Structure 1
Amino acid sequence: MTTPVAVTPKPSAPTPLVPRVWRRDRTSIPTRPMLIGSAVVGVLAALILDVDTIGVAYAIVFAGVTVVVGLLTPPRLTPIQWGACAGALALFGVAAVRGAGWLVFVCLVAAWVVFTWALIGGRTWTGIALGTIMPWRAPLRVMRFARRRNARPGAALRVPAVRVVAVGAVSVAMLLIFGSLFASADPEFAKFFDGAAPSIRVDETIAHLLIGVLVAFGTLTAVYLRRRTPDVDALAPMPASPLPLWEWVVPLAMLNVLFLGFVAVQLKTLFGGDKHVQVTDGLTYADYARQGFWQLMMVTVLTLLVIAVAVRRVDRDDRRSRALARGLLGALCTFSLVIVASAVHRMWLYENQYGFTRLRVSVFAVELLLGLVFVLLIIAGVRMSGAWLPTAVLAMATVGLLGFAFFNPDAYIAEKDVERFEQGKSIDVNYLSTLSVDAVPALDRLPEPQRSDSLWYLKQELRGSEDSWWEFNSARKQAREILFG
């Protein structure tokens, strides 16, 4: 009789502590259009992009990046991704119509977030946040991607990518150096290229070459992210086990009672407006507005934290749990909306009393945006599904920021302060002189000497030669026409 032999099972592979974000990549190969397109965009950036000048060049370069990523890199972008790229392009385009550097900077940062979402995706808050840093973690992968060859004869580009970039850099350097020297040597030659091609000094060549190399490599990075998209949602927190009903109902119910009591007791204060400030001893418009702002901030953080924890702990398969969650979290969001409305009202009173500044107008806009976020939270609570919420908030923030840029905050600040001055109130000329060229049309209405005092710095900044086509900015153009005729 044969004795059975015990078989020792093979040990299973240990589960990784950190989920895999990047797929193993040893086969992806850059095609000729990808490499040439990235190099062309880099050359374009080296020729026209100047980080010190706000102009249309930002949108032109980004449009080139979008063409390479969207048309030369398979798979083709989906309609939603094309929409996100269009939103990012619109944010870059703010640099062509607004002169406020702080506003343009915010729009460029937002464009980065939107474009990385278009490349990588992300259905969760964690995924959207991590997507913004993935391009910074990809350089080594991109360099290996660019060095690969295809073993099949004639199937892929045989020239090393490094050589393509080097040849492009050398070509641009020679054009810039010799072109600038020829332009300096012959006025007629300089006139021929004046306004049609960049006029760059020899000492600026290295900076422009660096910009070109960075943009070319950044474009190739975007190509790689399309070809080997990381799974950023893999690092999102796993679903938590639900708590017993009473463990989350009791805290939420008590918190709602607290909010209800606060709103009820403070009803007169919340919407008292001018009358409440005037009849309350020791209360100023500044105190009134700041109280509303900090209430909003505290309520926002508290509500978002509570919702994030409670939704993860609610048993969504239980009908009674879903009903209680809808009621309690919906009430919390509703009370928050009341305080958002109060804060907006207080800030409006404050601005009308003391004038408008960038900080006050920006806070006002953020308060309105947060109010819309609470509305989305209520909708998500009714549906008991928030998978769409991160993407919806990102889209809403993008549209809101574009609306804020269209609103033209610097021009609005100047317009309102000039109106207050025309009504006999004081005006802070020193602060108005720090505004951008967006404010020139409104400041031009001031009488002397306030007009000259508020426009002196802007006149010095705009004095000189006209912008080239790649430096075009409609706000600067309008300001020059007003100030210099």
Structure 2
Amino acid sequence: MPLGSYALTGGRTWIDLAGGGLAFIPAVPRAVPWAGRGVSTLVRSGRRPTGPVVGSLVLAGALLLVFGALFATADAAFGRAVTGLFPHVGAWSLVTRIFVFGGSIVAVLTGAFLAMAPPRFRRPPAPSDVGRTPWAIPIVALDLLFLGFVAVQADVLLAGDRDRLLRSTGLTYAEYARRGFWQLLVVTGLVLLVVAVAVRYAPVRSRADRATVRTLLGLLCALTLVVVAVALRRLFLYEEAYGWTRLRLWVHAFELWLGLVVLLVAIAGIRLRAAWLPRAVAASGAVGLLALGLFNPDGFIAAHDVARFRHTGSADLAYLAGLSADAVPALDRLPEPQRSCVLHHLAESLDDGDSWTRFNLSRARARDLLGRRPVTRPPAC
């Protein structure tokens, strides 16, 4: 949603990127009345006979409803034919569909409103020059903290006896590896905020000022990339120990994208001017989402978890059973009875056939594979 919102509003600055990405929700209360005024104006317009046409359509619908109901109750064959034109929808399903339809209409109207009247965000006033020393003190302190953290990580990762080194923490190396990832993820995001604020107040009048800014912020970005690598390493060890899930894969991809953003910021810092950076960050996020969709996440998760099961005999079979048809080719490599346990419910859903809204290539391939190698009735799993 933020990427779509920014695509509708546009803009070249960080203020435009942040404001445009968050503009969708606040625009909803304005979009609905805006659309209502447009429809009202169109109905009252004398250029097109909109009013009579709308009234005629309403009358035609009422006539079809009344006479169709009478014919359907008068003749069983006609009633069966009419009933077949409409899907059987329960009360709760009907409420859900009405809610989804209404939400979709509001989303489309809001998108049209933002495209027709994109908001404009004011750039904050330029800050006063704080000077090199007051600006450098907090950045130097942060650089030193990052250097200390990186030094400890190097000591742990390169130590010959890691368990002995970590004995004072009360953790094994496996426990140490999977703890703290979320904190490191937050650290990466906060560094981008710190760099944005620091650049805003950076002294750039003299050559020495610019050299100081490039050195201190460049070092902070470089150390942040090391933190990104440490976070990814911890998450990878966690995934190797407990298997992959959608959440872990998405977080993995998000951390990689944050690392790319830090790298782009570091490149932009070479000249301390980067009008291209906000759009490059937004474009990299959009490309990353498309790439993640083409990556086939469920197939990747299933392939790695099946390989782990064949190697260790351990896997979360209940989680694998909830994956989509994209995972069937990998899940088919499980030994019996685990294969049937995991694929049983998915095979039943594929046997029901697909409506035009559910059909896709993955489901067709999965149905063909399970047709050649049917799932046996599993024992208690």
TM-score, scaled relative to structure 1: 0.63
CA displacement, residues 107-153 of structure 1 (integer Å, 9 cap, x when unaligned): xxxxx333332322244343223322244132112212332269996
Query: Is the 8 Å Cα contact of residues 139 and 217 (structure 2) preserved in structure 1?
Result: yes
Distance in 2 (alpha carbons) for counterparts of 1:207 and 1:372: 39
Distance in 2 (alpha carbons) for counterparts of 1:229 and 1:280: 55
Query: Is the 8 Å Cα contact of residues 289 and 343 (structure 1) preserved in structure 2?
Result: no
Distance in 2 (alpha carbons) for counterparts of 1:475 and 1:119: 32
CA displacement, residues 276-313 of structure 1 (integer Å, 9 cap, x when unaligned): 4697544232431323x145224213312321221121
Distance in 1 (alpha carbons) for counterparts of 2:276 and 2:59: 44
Distance in 1 (alpha carbons) for counterparts of 2:132 and 2:332: 64
Paired residue type of 2:19: G
Paired residue type of 1:248: W
Match of 1:342 in 2: 230
Match of 2:377 in 1: none
C-alpha change, 1:220 and 1:258, in structure 2 (3 Å) is closer
- Pairing 1:118-137 to 2, within 5 Å after superposition: 118-123=7-12, 124=15, 125-137=17-29
Alignment counterpart, residue 269 of structure 1, candidates 156, 170, 174 = 156
Distance in 2 (alpha carbons) for counterparts of 1:380 and 1:243: 22
Query: Is the 8 Å Cα contact of residues 296 and 339 (structure 1) preserved in structure 2?
Result: yes
Q: Which moved more, 1:166-175 or 1:138-147?
A: 166-175
Alignment counterpart, residue 141 of structure 2, candidates 242, 254, 259 = 254
1:366 matches 2:257: no
C-alpha change, 1:306 and 1:172, in structure 2 (3 Å) is farther
Alignment counterpart, residue 474 of structure 1, candidates 346, 355, 361 = 361
Query: Is the 8 Å Cα contact of residues 189 and 258 (structure 2) preserved in structure 1?
Result: no
CA displacement, residues 332-365 of structure 1 (integer Å, 9 cap, x when unaligned): 0100101211222232233223322223222222
Match of 1:37 in 2: none
Match of 1:117 in 2: 6
Alignment counterpart, residue 245 of structure 1, candidates 132, 142, 145 = 132
Q: Secondary structure at the match of 2:224?
A: helix
Q: CA deviation at 1:378?
A: 0.7
Kindly indicate whether structure 1 or structure 2 has the higher relative contact order, using CA contacts under 8 Å at least 6 residues apart.
1
Distance in 2 (alpha carbons) for counterparts of 1:427 and 1:278: 30
C-alpha change, 1:148 and 1:473, in structure 2 (3 Å) is same
Distance in 1 (alpha carbons) for counterparts of 2:41 and 2:109: 14
Q: CA deviation at 1:329?
A: 0.9
Paired residue type of 2:20: I
Q: Secondary structure at the match of 2:323?
A: coil
Paired residue type of 1:289: R
Match of 2:191 in 1: 303
Percent of matched pairs sharing the same residue: 39
- Pairing 1:323-342 to 2, within 5 Å after superposition: 323-342=211-230
Q: CA deviation at 1:213?
A: 6.0
Alignment counterpart, residue 285 of structure 1, candidates 174, 185, 198 = 174
Q: CA deviation at 1:209?
A: 6.4
Q: CA deviation at 1:267?
A: 1.3
CA displacement, residues 425-473 of structure 1 (integer Å, 9 cap, x when unaligned): 3233223223222222211221211111112332343342x22323322
Alignment counterpart, residue 289 of structure 2, candidates 401, 425, 428 = 401
Distance in 2 (alpha carbons) for counterparts of 1:173 and 1:301: 61
Q: CA deviation at 1:237?
A: 3.8
- Pairing 1:27-426 to 2, within 5 Å after superposition: 112-123=1-12, 124=15, 125-138=17-30, 139-148=32-41, 154=47, 157=48, 159=50, 164=54, 167=57, 171=61, 186=77, 199=87, 201=89, 215-216=104-105, 218-231=107-120, 233-234=121-122, 237-270=124-157, 276=162, 280-281=166-167, 282-291=171-180, 293-426=181-314
Query: Is the 8 Å Cα contact of residues 149 and 158 (structure 1) preserved in structure 2?
Result: no
Distance in 1 (alpha carbons) for counterparts of 2:19 and 2:61: 40
Query: Is the 8 Å Cα contact of residues 270 and 342 (structure 1) preserved in structure 2?
Result: no
CA displacement, residues 168-204 of structure 1 (integer Å, 9 cap, x when unaligned): 89859969x969x97x95499859x98xx87455967
Q: CA deviation at 1:218?
A: 4.6
Query: Is the 8 Å Cα contact of residues 296 and 326 (structure 2) preserved in structure 1?
Result: yes
Match of 2:375 in 1: none
CA displacement, residues 363-399 of structure 1 (integer Å, 9 cap, x when unaligned): 2222211111111111222232354333222211111
C-alpha change, 1:409 and 1:207, in structure 2 (3 Å) is closer
Hey, which of these two has a bigger chunk of helix by percent?
2
Unmatched 5+ stretches in structure 1: 1-111
TM-score, scaled relative to structure 2: 0.78
Match of 2:378 in 1: none
Match of 1:444 in 2: 332
Query: Is the 8 Å Cα contact of residues 330 and 381 (structure 1) preserved in structure 2?
Result: yes
Query: Is the 8 Å Cα contact of residues 225 and 262 (structure 2) preserved in structure 1?
Result: yes
C-alpha change, 1:404 and 1:208, in structure 2 (3 Å) is closer
Distance in 1 (alpha carbons) for counterparts of 2:175 and 2:61: 59
Equivalent residue pairs, number:
360
Query: Is the 8 Å Cα contact of residues 410 and 436 (structure 1) preserved in structure 2?
Result: yes
Match of 2:349 in 1: 461
Unmatched 5+ stretches in structure 2: 373-381
Paired residue type of 1:227: M
Distance in 1 (alpha carbons) for counterparts of 2:166 and 2:348: 47
